[in-house]
Amino acid sequence: MEPLSSSFSSLIHVYGSLSPTSLPPSTSLSDSIPDAQPPSVPRSSPPPLVTLSQIEQQAVTAASPPRETSSEASTGHTHSQARARARAMVPYKIRCAIKALRGYASWSLSHISARLETPYRTVYDVSKEPLTPRPRRMGTKLYGSPVMRRLIEEIEASPTARRLNLTALAHRCDITASNSTVSRYLSRHGYHRYKAAQKPFINETQRLARLEWALEHRDWSIDDWRRVIWTDESAFHIGGQQNVYVTRLRDQRLNSSCLVPRFSKKPHVMIWGAICGGYKAWPPIIWDRKAWGKTINSDGFCTHILPVLKEFNDDMGVELTYSLPPDLQKPIVMMDGAPCHTAVNTKLKLAEAGIELLPWPASSPDLNPIENLWSILKERIARHLPRPSTHEAMKEAILEEWDHISEQELERIVDSLPNRIQQVIENHGGHTRW
């Protein structure tokens, strides 16, 4: 290749005093450019000019080798490679002419493009680059490599890996990549960081019991579920709660490796409540830990909660006579397997009060619609400003929001029971989204 100074000298000698209009229109400037070769090399005919279509076609073909089809292919990256290859394919003689006419003769890019029959964009790019193009240094292509696929394999294989932050996850897989690189790669495959869902642990026996219960009640209608009195206790914590985040797909919320156990020992206010169809027991019972004890045992339940439950059960027996068929007018009480509910003394007192119980599988809070009511109350209380920071303030907030629960909200969550039953059957007794 001829030195740059020799090429410029020959070009300037011929065109240094020319203007873009000094040549006849029929004259091609490229035909008048002297061959930029050393004196010892015989003169040869100039190489044929490369048109725009030829350059772009050859560049795109060369920049698009066979590759696996995936969402990781970047169209913009392919076009940038094509343009770089197109500039590299411009003959050295034409590159010298563009540099000389632009830098020394001060021709405009449009006139150079017209005279040299070279695409305008190529003329512009060549004028901005060194005479001899340098290969572009591209970063390591990690997105489509087996190296990065180890991230997904590790996430799917290990619950511990799901809980690692992205930097620690890359280090665990022996991958040198930034946090943003790992995040972009996982996002392309649908993996994002989510707050881990808290669900009770279900063993094999409990799973089979849930499935059996769901199969027994799959034919119940909405009227059947509206005569059930749903009861439960809930703790309203005073203060915040730390969230655990996991890396998963959008539909893996209930995957066992994406769950965290639910237990805490924070200051709280305990409340007992009951709903039936569009009705709710009033007022809800706020457990007095100082006067009644720190926990709800069988004696405390029978002394402080059972009278309110019996009164609500009798009231609903009257209400159901106006809204449901005769065979569905007797309410049924649902209670979970808490020790205060399953104690012998409690069962005797319930039988004496004429309260009929609905059989209930263990570890099934997702089938109890009042659990959704607790979530609604806690969400609304969390929006209070200032947030309740004492037991008395929390009690006032609970009573206020309980009173604001509408009949339509209660019916909406109770009427979702058929869908819950169906999802338990589809998941073979596993967790549901509720």
Strands 332-334 and 192-195: unpaired
Cα 210 from Cα 390, distance rounded (Å): 39
> Which of 186-200, 207-221, 279-293, 356-370 has the lowest average pLDDT?
186-200
9 pLDDT exceeds 60? no
Mean pLDDT over 205-230 rounds to: 95
22 pLDDT exceeds 60? no
pLDDT of residue 282: 86
pLDDT of residue 255: 83
Residue 231: pLDDT band (50, 70, 90) is very high
pLDDT of residue 239: 63
Peptide bond into 3 cis (omega under 30): no
Mean pLDDT over 288-304 rounds to: 92
pLDDT of residue 144: 60
Cα 182 from Cα 174, distance rounded (Å): 12
pLDDT of residue 314: 94
Mean pLDDT over 34-58 rounds to: 47
pLDDT of residue 328: 83
pLDDT of residue 65: 43
Residue 400: pLDDT band (50, 70, 90) is very high
Higher local confidence (pLDDT), 267 or 342: 342
Q: Please, what is the end-to-end C-alpha distance for the chain in angstroms?
A: 74
Residue 62: pLDDT band (50, 70, 90) is very low
Mean pLDDT over 18-46 rounds to: 47
Higher local confidence (pLDDT), 245 or 313: 313
Mean pLDDT over 178-198 rounds to: 87
CA dihedral 216, 219, 222, 227 (to 10 degrees): -40
Backbone angles phi, psi at 73, to 5 degrees: -65, 130
Residue 72: pLDDT band (50, 70, 90) is very low
Q: What is the pLDDT of residues 334-366, one digit of tens each?
A: 999 999 999 999 999 999 999 999 999 999 999
> Which of 148-162, 234-248, 282-296, 329-343 has the lowest average pLDDT?
234-248
pLDDT of residue 75: 52
Neighbouring residues of 12: CB distance < 8 A, sequence distance ≥ 6: 100, 104, 105
pLDDT of residue 77: 55
278 pLDDT exceeds 60? yes
Phi-psi region of 39 (alpha: psi -120 to 50; beta: other; left: phi over 0): alpha
Residue 333: pLDDT band (50, 70, 90) is very high
Percentage of residues in the chain having pLDDT higher than 70: 74
pLDDT of residue 223: 92
pLDDT of residue 100: 85
pLDDT of residue 20: 52
Neighbouring residues of 169: CB distance < 8 A, sequence distance ≥ 6: 151, 154, 155, 161, 182, 247
Full 3-state SS string of the chain: CCCHHHHHHHHHHHHCCCCCCCCCCCCCHHHHCCCCCCCCCCCCCCCCCCCHHHHHHHHHHHHCCCCCCCCCCCHHHHHHHHHHHHHHCCCHHHHHHHHHHHHCCCCCHHHHHHHHCCCHHHHHHHHHCCCCCCCCCCCCCCCCCHHHHHHHHHHHHCHHHHHCCHHHHHHHCCCCCCHHHHHHHHHHCCCEEEECEECCCCCHHHHHHHHHHHHHCCCCCHHHHHCEEEEEEEEEECCCCCCCEEEECCCCCCCHHHEECCCCCCCEEEEEEEEECCEECCCCEECCHHHHCCCCCHHHHHHHHHHHHHHHHHHHHHHHHHHCCHHHCCCEEECCCCHHHHCHHHHHHHHHCCCCECCCCCCCHHHCCHHHHHHHHHHHHHCCCCCCCCHHHHHHHHHHHHHHCCHHHHHHHHCCHHHHHHHHHHCCCCCCCC
